[in-house]
Amino acid sequence: MTNPLLLIATADGVRTIRVNRPDKLNALNAATLDALDAAFADAAVDDAVRVVVLTGSGPKAFVAGADIAEMNALSPVQGRDFSLRGTRMMRRVEKMPKPVIAMVNGFALGGGLELAMCCHLRIAADSAKLGQPEINLGLIPGFGGTQRLLRLCGRAATLELCLTGAPINAERALQLGIVNRVVPAAELEAETMKLAAQLAGSAPLALRGMIDCVNIGGECGIEEGLEYEAAQFGLVFSTQDMREGTSAFLEKRKPAFHGR
C-alpha cells in the first residue's frame, strides 16, 4: 500500500507508520485520516506485523493537530462528519489486535494528542509538548480528547488541559499518566524500537487477549470485566503458544512464539 501522506516500513515484525506532512507539522486532514484508517486496517490482518509504531515525519511534530485550514470551511454537519471520521479511525487503532506504540517526537496537540492517546503505549521525547488547545480556536476536542484524557488522568487534569488549552511538557504528561515513558530526544527511536522488538517477540494471541480485556474492562463494570478476563484466560489454553511458553519456562529456555 502506497500513499504519500504516510511513510510505511516493516522489519522484524514491527511496522512503522509515519504521518508524512512535515510542512504542515503532520496536521490531520480528511485524506490523512483516511490513509491512517486504511494503514491500520492493513496492519491488523498482515501476519508479518506483530507491533505497530506510529510517529510523525520531521523533527518538530508527532502530529500538531487537525488541519485548521480545512476545518475553517466546514459547515456544522460537515464538522460533525469530520469528527466522526477521526473518531472511527482512532477507535480502530484503540481496538487493534496488535500493540500500537506512539513515538511522540515533538508537538502532540489537539488531534495529535488524541491520536497518541488511542495508541496502547506512548513514549515521548523529553522535548515533546502535549495539549488540547482547541479552546483557543473556539472549538472543543473532536476526536475523543475529553473522553480519553478523562480515562487516563482523571477529571481535574482533563478539565485543566481542555479549559485552559495550555500545553504541558513531557515530564508533566508522565506525571499525569498521559505517557508511559519519557526519554532523551536523541534516544527516542532506539528506545521505542527496543520496546517494539520486545513486544514483537511476545505471544501474539496473549497480547491480543490483554488488549481486549483492558478495552472491555474500561467500558463495563468490574464483574463483567472479570468474567471476560476469565474467558480470555481459558481461551489461551487452546494455543500452541501457551504450551510453548510454559514448556520453555519449565525447560529453562527462551520460548519461540508463532501466534498459533
Give the chain's end-to-end CA distance (angstroms, integer): 26
Cα 150 to Cα 124: distance, rounded to the nearest angstrom: 20
**Per-domain residue ranges of the chain:** 6-200, 204-250
Do the domains 6-200 and 204-250 sit in the same CATH topology, yes or no? no
pLDDT for the residue numbered 259: 86
Q: Which CATH number fits domain 6-200: 3.30.200.20, 3.40.50.740, 3.20.190.10, 3.90.226.10?
A: 3.90.226.10
Burial of 89 (0-12, 13-18, 19+ CB in 10 A): buried
Q: Yes or no: say if 92 and 38 are a contact pair by the CB < 8 Å rule.
A: no
pLDDT for the residue numbered 3: 84
pLDDT for the residue numbered 251: 93
pLDDT tens digits for 95-117? 999 999 999 999 999 999 999 99
pLDDT for the residue numbered 59: 87
pLDDT tens digits for 135-169? 999 999 999 999 999 999 999 999 999 999 999 99
Helix (H) or strand (E) holding 11: strand 6-11
Q: Is 134 a catalytic residue?
A: yes
Write down the pTM of the prediction: 0.94
Name the catalytic one among 114, 189, 224, 227: 114
Query: Which residues of the chain carry a pLDDT beneath 50?
Result: none
Name the catalytic one among 70, 134, 160, 223: 134
CATH number given to 204-250? 1.10.12
Q: Is 191 a catalytic residue?
A: no
